[in-house]
Amino acid sequence: MPELPEVEVLARHLRPVLRGKTIRSVQVNRPKVLQPTSERELKRVLTGAKFKSLSRRGKYLLFEFRSKTPGKNFTLLGHLGMTGKMFVAEKSAPPPKHAAVVLELNRGNFIYEDTRYFGRMTLDLSSAEKLGPEPWDKNFTPEVFARELQRSRQPIKVKLLDQSLVAGVGNIYASEALFRAKISPKRAANKLTFTQVKALHCAICKVLAEAIAGGSTVQLNFGGGKTDGLFYFGRAPGAENYYEERLLVYDRAGKPCVQCGKPIKRLVQSARSTFFCSGCQKL
DNA sequence: CACCATGTTCCTTG
DNA sequence: CCAAGGAACATGGT
């Protein structure tokens, strides 16, 4: 469930649910999601610790803990990879097939589930430290963005997935932002005009903010139910599928562009799908 | 069987 | 040192 908006909505959901909860025991089913932290180390540190606060950085979750050992507070980093979910379930509920880690609370279990196990739950914070600015950070300005883009000849779509430029944009919102900024995904990063950079900067912020706002109002299911936990597949009562309504180009190959009616095209860049409108996004 | 999937990291190659 | 390209990770859906 992984781009910035989904992680932000999840963080807002979990924050009040976890605050003040103490971890009774730790069950690790897939040690690979902890690396480079060892199972032994995670259990030692986490058992008896109490959730203090939760924040988000890019697509990462940062869980702040108060250690049972005074003065040894620490941070746990979470990442959902492609298919990760994190939620609290009743202890009586059967554990999901791909539960990678289960943190037992006094009431309920905090579960990190991940079918493909591409995500992380670890004490190593180095990945989050390498990230570029948050989209709304004062350090993420059109000027800074333009300077960074100047250094690359890669297609702009590919460059947007580089988390050191701006943190949190993934494969879906990269296509969406470019469509809204009316820029071709194939355009070389260093060939954007400053006008285009400003439009893209604005589109990134807007697309992500709208997705967060949309996701927050939808009926969510973070749990292990039949839904996939992706909030943009959630439904508001009586409403159509929000995914269809909100995404203008992603996964819409062949369907008419909402702006000009031409069919949306799909292309592959760096082994990932890109969706765009050749009428609205000229090179 | 083939191809697709919301992400990151590691290893080459130039 | 750096940019860029590709494979790897692992499982499931169509």
Q: Which CATH architecture has domain A4-129?
A: Alpha-Beta Barrel (3.20)
The answer to whether A268 CB is within 7 Å of strand C is: no
pLDDT, one tens digit per residue, over A129-178 is 999 999 999 999 999 999 999 999 999 999 999 999 999 999 999 999 99
Q: What is the pLDDT of residue A214?
A: 82
Sign for the pseudo-dihedral over CA of A157, A163, A168, A172: positive
**Distance, CA of A69 to C1' of C3, in Å:** 46
Nearest protein residue to nucleotide C4 (CA to C1' distance) is A154
Q: Per-residue b/e over A251-261, b at no fewer than 16 CB within 10 Å?
A: ebeeeebeeee
pLDDT, one tens digit per residue, over A208-241 is 999 998 876 554 555 544 333 334 334 444 444 4
The answer to whether A160 CB is within 7 Å of strand B is: no
CATH topology of domain A142-276: Helicase, Ruva Protein; domain 3 (1.10.8)
Q: What is the pLDDT of residue A216?
A: 62
Domain boundaries, chain A: 4-129, 142-276
pLDDT, one tens digit per residue, over A85-138 is 999 999 999 999 999 999 999 999 999 999 999 999 999 999 999 999 999 999
Distance CA A131, CA A53 (A): 21
Average pLDDT over chain A, rounded to an integer: 91
The answer to whether A78 CB is within 7 Å of strand B is: no
The HSE-up count of residue A1 (CA atoms within 13 Å, CB side) is: 33
pLDDT, one tens digit per residue, over A164-212 is 999 999 999 999 999 999 999 999 999 999 999 999 999 999 999 999 9
